[in-house]
Amino acid sequence: MRLDSHQHFWKVSRADYYWMSPQVPVLYRDYFPEDLKPSLIEHQVDKTILVQAAPTVAETDFLLELAERTDFVAGVVAWLDMEAADFPDQLAKYCAIPKFVGIRPMLEDLPDDAYILKPPVLASLKAVAEHGLSFDFLTYVRHLPYVLKALEKVPNLRAVVDHISKPEIRLKKMEPWKSLIREVAQHNNVYCKLSGMITEADHKNWIPDDLRPYVEHVVGCFGLERVMFGSDWPVCLLAGSYAQVIEALRGILKPVSDGAAEVGVFGSNASRFYGLEEVHHA
């Protein structure tokens, strides 16, 4: 099974998307399953993980409803308020919904870079781990020191770093990202999404070789067993098509992987991480 571990849908009129603007028309429009399906068919992608793009419970409900009527959506990474006193009850309620596979706060946009270390948030993170759910870290490089501390405090958390933590690819900058990612990879239950890279490169002039040193470093740290392809569609449209994203990654990985590894990176790793091969809700 070929699986895209990271894509979005949204309806602009819902007005939950604070980061969206009419000044960026390629994103400022509705995106629904019928818009993505032709690309999935073209590239023989069987299933996707649908990821939240707004920090509201309304977003969670909207995506779960979409997932329920979309065969190719295998799971939803949703949003819940990790500071809420009733977080454990909310989590238990959503765990009863089959396609609810994990949660993601939008750490990259929060005013407190150390948000993940707040006592109520850490308590919620422990609840996520106890339920056997996955957790997506949406971060910039500056958040990784706090991510490392959180992983030490919740060692049984099954987590994934989205978009390789958004290093400054456009500037060809490697440090401190390179060292911090190596530390994160020491946690064996943490994975990394090979996603969101072309939008960190020069939108108009990027080439696959701009991404290569970053991909090779991530693969070197995590191994081919703990990385996964994600398109970040439709955000990727800022810099390239679905076809360009998937073909760039395939080309970069070809010298360092065999057929079995490609099956993992483009499918089974994400399936294993998100628990699609088993009933994992507690």
CB count within 10 Å of CB 123 equals: 15
Instruction: Determine what percent of the chain falls in helix, strand and coil, rounding each to the nearest 5.
Output: 45, 15, 40
Per-10-residue mean pLDDT of the chain, 282 residues long, equals 97 93 96 98 97 98 98 98 97 96 97 98 97 96 98 98 98 98 98 98 97 97 97 98 97 85 92 77 39
User: Measured between alpha carbons, how far is 148 from 246 in angstroms, rounded to an integer?
Assistant: 29
* pLDDT value, residue 15: 84
pTM: 0.96
CA dihedral 126, 147, 82, 56 (to 10 degrees): -140
Is there a contact between 182 and 221 (Cβ–Cβ < 8 Å)? yes
Q: Which residues contact 117 (CB under 8 A, 6 or more apart)?
A: 146, 149, 150, 153
Q: How far apart are the first and last CA of the chain?
A: 26
Q: Residue 166 region, left (φ>0) first, then alpha (ψ -120 to 50), else beta?
A: left
Q: Look-up: residue for tokens 């933590």?
A: 165
Spatial separation of the C-alpha atoms in residues 239 and 80, rounded to whole Å: 30
Tokens of 171: 């500037």
**Residue 260's pLDDT is what?**
74
Closest CA to 228 of 206, 212, 214, 249: 249
Write down the pLDDT at residue 53.
98
Token pair for 95: 């765990």
What pLDDT shows up at residue 279?
Answer: 40
Cα 280 from Cα 75, distance rounded (Å) = 13
The pLDDT, as a whole number, for residue 221 is: 98
Residue 282: what pLDDT? 38
Is the preceding peptide bond at 55 cis, omega within 30 degrees of 0?
Answer: no
Q: Do residues 33 and 71 lie in contact, with contact meaning Cβ atoms separated by under 8 Å?
A: no
At 259 the pLDDT is 75
- Domains of the chain, earliest start first: 3-273 (3.20.20.140)
d(CA 86, CA 170): 42
List Cα–Cα distances, 14 to 21, 24, 154, 231, in angstroms.
13, 17, 35, 23
